[in-house]
Amino acid sequence: MNERALLEHIIESTCGTPGVAIGPGDDMAMLDVPGASGNAGLLISVDQVVDGVHVHADTTPWSAIGRKAVARALSDVAAMAGRPLASIVAAVLPPGTSGEQAAELFDSMRLAAEQYRAPIIGGDMAFHHAEVGPLTCSVTVLATPTTNGPVQRSGAMEGDVVCVTGMLGGSFEEGGAGRHLEFEPRIGEAIMLQAILKERLHSMIDLSDGLGTDGMQLLARHAPLQIRINASDIPCNEGVDWRRAVADGEDYELCFCAEGDLPEQVLDCSIARIGMVVKAEEGDERRMVVIDGEQEHDISGAGWEHCS
Amino acid sequence: MNERALLEHIIESTCGTPGVAIGPGDDMAMLDVPGASGNAGLLISVDQVVDGVHVHADTTPWSAIGRKAVARALSDVAAMAGRPLASIVAAVLPPGTSGEQAAELFDSMRLAAEQYRAPIIGGDMAFHHAEVGPLTCSVTVLATPTTNGPVQRSGAMEGDVVCVTGMLGGSFEEGGAGRHLEFEPRIGEAIMLQAILKERLHSMIDLSDGLGTDGMQLLARHAPLQIRINASDIPCNEGVDWRRAVADGEDYELCFCAEGDLPEQVLDCSIARIGMVVKAEEGDERRMVVIDGEQEHDISGAGWEHCS
């Protein structure tokens, strides 16, 4: 099954709900807050960590799994330039889980949630009955937009510069640096970026599935736009070439489109200008291209399709 | 591992967060809404449906599973006498799930969510990589309290009458009526009850794990109170005796404690007076007892422990 096609079915069938300022399809939904005045909105999203997909529970400390589950969900808050408010967690534990393991998982979730000011306010826990039952954590986060409002995914405009924070690729590598377990969601960086760029920051997403898959979301669905990236400008982690940097996923860096002057870093985080948003030529379609010397590579959709 | 002990560890370690009007341990948490005036609060909770635990995905249509996942989460809204606002769903699908099955699941979630005015505004989907991976759905619901405020779990007072809506027991039976798949969350009934009883409605919970387990939650943790139930007053589904009615779980009826005159039904739903809240005798503890003729049975904690 194609994950993207199913997601589009879901997005189409749930759009246009009253009271919903941003519906499914962005990093977070935004709800008009009942009883609130002005442009107050509530951002909300859910993310999951599944053993065998996003982590390997037999070789990874459960404290690292709990931390990742929360950090991954908070990366969506960063992508909207939101401020974390609270989180709600749910887990399905494998048969034979000990009380110590379960406590390790929940304590690490609680600590990570507190660190990013999204305290856990509720949750649910179930146990697999089947002999084999992979550990599954889902984390719902609530956040508020800043006074500058949320930054949506798909507002890239012709002439925008395309940037990424930090370095890409190799984050999920076996025996690697464990970056997919240790990354910091770019919450402060995103808020700072938006404070500097204001309405010049047109669109933003966090890179969980890879630049090729996620980057395409920066272009509105029917916009005749393309993203052209220079291979040599992609900031690659050590030992990783640009092909892996755009496809590996699990980086949780921000990718954004903005116009005009851009800072070279925010807080302690570098910002790399990797490409441009251009108009698609007559008859051509929305796509993402990497230019490597004389060659052009279509990377639209390149990334980490979860249903491999 | 004991689920209740772990839950208490989690509840204790997460209590006392600023901006959180009701923390973990109730049917839903309540957050003070940023930017809202007066007593506006946002209720939020998460619930899960797991193949092999709450449903059998090989013999149950996925449309019924999706509906149950949403209805189960909305039963928590009923328990707080809240009004549904929106929902966010997440699912982990087994390997080999077809596009049609996945669409059936999500469409049924969407329909159920719309029926109860909690439209799906976001979600996440993952696929198990392991050969065996049970279907898991988590549903987070948002709700608002009515002007009468939320009804919490643990406010039972000495002299209160203990009541349940509808009929109990046998809901999860193989070959049974499939009540655990078809129940209607008692949202309207709860709002109506609270409108009638107002501050006389002291505590309420929905019965998912069984009266013995859930009913104990109606008593504050260190309150020297007991619930005494008359076996013959328990409204049992056909073919089920009181023992199963208090232990089977999966009824999603409401159990509440209130003082004074009580209606015999709300909307089309019967209300049974099954017992009283009494003071524990000197040296005795918080417990729940069923009186069956000459015999007294301690049913504290009797119910459906998920980690069987």
Contact A121 B20 (CB under 8 A): yes
pTM summary value: 0.92
**Number of H helices and number of E strands within chain B?**
7, 14
CA distance to partner chain A, nearest, from residue B139 (Å): 9
Secondary structure (DSSP) of A163-223: EEES-BS-TT-TTS--HHHHPPP-HHHHHHHHHHHGGGEEEEEE-SS-HHHHHGGGS-TT-
- pLDDT tens digits, one per residue of B175-195: 555 889 999 999 999 999 999
SS3 A132: coil
For the domain spanning A3-145, the CATH number is: 3.30.1330.10
Distance in Å, alpha carbon of A177 to nearest chain B alpha carbon = 23
What is the rounded radius of gyration, in angstroms, for the C-alpha atoms of chain A? 19
Structure confidence at residue B36 (pLDDT): 64
Place of tokens 């069923």: B290
Q: Are A253 and A166 in contact (CB under 8 A)?
A: yes
The predicted-structure confidence for A258-299, as pLDDT tens digits, reads as follows 999 999 999 999 999 999 999 998 888 899 999 999 999 999
Q: Does any CB of chain A come closer than 8 Å to the CB of residue B144?
A: yes
Which ipTM did the prediction report?
A: 0.90
- Chain B residue with CA closest to A38: the answer is B35
Query: Quick one: pLDDT at residue A5?
Result: 75
Residue A48 to residue B128, Cβ atoms within 8 A:
no
Sign of CA dihedral B58, B64, B70, B74: negative
Query: How far is B174 from A40, CA to CA, in rounded Å?
Result: 48
DSSP, res A230: E
Q: What is the pLDDT of residues B217-247, one digit of tens each?
A: 999 988 899 999 999 999 999 999 999 999 9
| Binary contact (A3, B127; C-beta < 8 A) | yes
A55-71 pLDDT tens trace: 888 889 999 999 999 99
Predicted confidence (pLDDT) at residue A303 exceeds the cutoff of 80: no
Question: Amino acid identity, residue A142?
Answer: L
Residue B37 confidence class, pLDDT cut points 50, 70, 90: low
Mean of all residue pLDDT scores within chain B? 90
B93-132: b or e for each residue (b if 16 or more CB lie within 10 Å)? bbeebeeebbbbbbbbbbebbeebebbbbbbbbbbbbeee
Share of chain B above pLDDT 70, in %: 92
A161-298: which CATH number, 3.40.50.300, 3.30.70.2080, 3.90.650.10, 3.40.50.2300? 3.90.650.10
* Cβ-based contacts under 8 A for chains A and B: 255
pLDDT band for position A307 (50/70/90)? very low
pLDDT at B289: 94
Name residues 29-58 of chain B within 8 A of A (Cβ). Answer: 29, 31, 33-38, 40, 42, 44-48, 50-54
Which among B37, B44, B90 has the least Cβ separation from residue A35? B37
Tell me what pLDDT residue B306 has: 40
**Across B60-77, average pLDDT:** 96
Closest residue of chain A to B132, computed from CA coordinates? A132
- What residue ranges do the domains of chain A occupy? 3-145, 161-298
How distant is the alpha carbon of residue A128 from its chain centre? 28
Interface membership of A85 toward B (CB under 8 Å)? yes
Residue A60 is encoded by which pair of tokens? 């990874």
pLDDT score of B77: 98
| Domains A3-145 and A161-298 belong to one CATH topology | no
